[in-house]
Amino acid sequence: MAEFIIFGISVALSFAAWGAVCYRYIWPLIRSRSLPDAAAPLLYINVFRFVGASFLVPGVAGSLPRSFAVASAFGDLFAVILAWVALMLLRKRAGYAALWIFNLWGAADLLFAFYKGLFDANFFPSALGATFYIPTVYVPFLLCVHLMLFVLLLRASRRRRLSLYPIWRDQSPRELQGAAPFLTSPASVTTECPASLIISTNIIRIRASSFMRRTEAGTDR
């Protein structure tokens, strides 16, 4: 029983520590960026999830239940593949869907591993051996990363529905603001409030001006 208490306290303190780090330092750095720019560093954190394969290595992990070790190891390896795919497609049209697929799979894999550890009668924290620090240090950080990705994706989905601006452009909201100096303020591009008539009108002006310039250039030729 003592090992379960120590394991549970370790996981809880790790969540608290990583949650504070993400809230104070990581989230403020990425929240105002475009979706590809914000998601990229979070995806790179996940490409190291191959460490989960160590659950299958004798001498590193102890006598873990086979069902737990296999599911966790191959689930993490597949998450690594999905993370690389999402990184490669991040600035393409398919990047939005690839990011959703990775985030859903990655979060579900980690939560399933916790579920197996909690409800498998044959699982004991002492059997983790050297891999003890994966669920107590790395996994809580990964879940915080997945939470930030979910927030970014939901915000991007809302912006997509409101059609404020294309979410899969290289420009950040600040750069887009610079391209349209007549917008009311930078906040009018990044805000989460419903689209106002003024913003919608200005976006139409941008697109109309771009179309007219291209038309005039073609006529001059």
Angle at 77 between CA 151 and CA 61, to 5 degrees: 110
Q: Spell out the domain ranges in the chain.
A: 2-162, 173-220
**Residue-level pLDDT at 164:** 46
State the pTM of this model. Answer: 0.71
**Crossing angle, helix 35-46 and helix 66-89, to 10 degrees?**
150
What is the model's pLDDT at position 209?
64
> What pLDDT does 219 receive?
53
Q: Which has the closest alpha carbon to 113: 153, 39, 41, 61? A: 61
Cβ-contact 124, 160 below 8 angstroms: no
How remote is the C-alpha of 15 from its chain's centroid? 17
**Tokens of residue 152, six digits:** 């970014």
CA distance 157 to 153: 6
> Cβ contacts of residue 215 below 8 Å, gap of 6+?
none
Angle at 16 between CA 24 and CA 109, to 5 degrees: 105
Given a contact cutoff of 8 angstroms between Cβ atoms, the answer to whether 49 and 105 are in contact is no
Mean pLDDT in consecutive groups of 10 residues from the start of the chain, 221 residues: 88 96 96 94 96 90 87 95 97 94 96 84 86 93 97 88 54 52 44 48 62 59 52
Beta bridge partners of residue 58, listed in sequence order? 61
* Structure-block tokens of residue 92: 């393409």
Contact between 114 and 138 under an 8 Å Cβ cutoff? The reply is: no
Distance CA 221, CA 219 (A): 5
